[in-house]
Amino acid sequence: MDLAPEELQFLSIPDVLRESISIPKRSPKTFYLITLALIFPLSFAILAHSLFTHPILAQLGSPSEDPAQTRHEWALLLTFQFFYLIFLFAFSLLSTAAVVFTVASLYTSKPVSFSSTISAIPKVFKRLFITFSWVSLLMIVYNGLLIGFFVLFVIAVDNHDALLSFFSFIVILVLFLGVHVYITALWHLASVVSVLEPIYGLAAMKKSYELLKGRVKMAVILVFGYLAICALIGGTFGSVVVHGGDKYGVLGRIVVGGFLVGVLVIVNLVGLLVQSVFYYVCKSYHHQGIDKSALHDYLGGYLGEYVPLKSSVQMENLDA
């Protein structure tokens, strides 16, 4: 990002994507190692998850006459799901921490290396975890509403109530396409705030909400595009690799599976870069100047470096 801070607010979506894609060129080795160590395992797990759970679900779909066997399959499925969610959660936050910290280091001309990024992750991870916990509470409320209206929709259809069915369907559509995408954008921006500013958790979510004002449309388009691409990759993987054994053969499934994992790795890396760049766009739009020297010192705090007291004050008062 060689543009002046005040010019970042004028970036369009194609400009944001171009800026994001160009960032790894400034430290290719660091981003290569981050991708290999963090983003690749995350992307592989997301797609391979259905590959491992499909046989178990198929067995549960045709229950065995032996109750013990059925209990064993359920226990196996729940155990696998538990460890999968832990892995997904951990590597998602680790990838976010690594990319946001590295982009910020490049932005402030701080020396960048994979070892320094990894060294900073433990302190960054705690802040991201607290923010993620608050987002999770918000998602629980959202999912409760979504499930409630879905049940209402099923009941309305069963009772042939056209008006109630239409109302429930519209609410479900708004909740999924509108609220879900907005919460995702809020979470991604709050994650960047948690790393780069001395706030996290509920305070980071509030700051994210304020930064999104005036840039909601751009955020929604970016997040919806990301989710749509991920859904397309996941759907293709499911139809070809998981369920396409008879049609595509082993070799074809391996080739397609490997290709889709590679595509998802690129999509996830670009997505993380975009959320970092989008943070600076929002700051610029609200005329909140970023003191690069203060941010440089603040990032050094994650590495155990001495942080001047004035840097903390500057980081808390970045309004130009």
d(CA 138, CA 187): 10
Q: Which of 48-52, 88-92, 309-313 has the highest mean pLDDT?
A: 88-92
Note the pTM of the prediction, 2 decimals: 0.85
- Can you read off the two tokens belonging to residue 225? 């595009």
Polymer length in residues for the chain? 320
Phi, psi torsion values for 263, nearest 5 degrees? -65, -45
- Output the pLDDT for position 276: 93
Q: Give the whole-angstrom CA distance, residue 20 versus residue 276.
A: 8
- Using CA atoms, how far apart are residues 9 and 277, in angstroms rounded to an integer? 11
Residue 309 reports pLDDT greater than 70:
no
CA torsion angle for 291, 102, 107, 297 (degrees, to 10)? 30
Asked if 136 and 187 count as a contact pair (C-beta separation under 8 A), the reply is no
Q: What pLDDT score does 165 carry? A: 79
Question: Band of the pLDDT at 312, cuts 50, 70, 90?
Answer: very low
Residues 87, 36: Cα–Cα separation, whole Å: 16
Residue 63 pLDDT grade (very low, low, confident, very high; cuts 50, 70, 90): low
pLDDT tens for each residue of 220-232:
999 999 999 999 9
Q: Does residue 315 have a pLDDT over 60?
A: no
**First vs last Cα of the chain: how many Å apart?**
19
Task: Give the pLDDT confidence score for residue 308 in this predicted structure.
Answer: 55
Tokens of 24: 């790894």
Position 319 scores a pLDDT of 39
**What contacts 198, CB < 8 A, 6 or more positions away?**
298, 312, 315, 316
pLDDT tens track for 19-47: 999 999 999 999 999 999 999 999 999 99
- Asked if pLDDT for residue 320 goes beyond 80, the answer is no
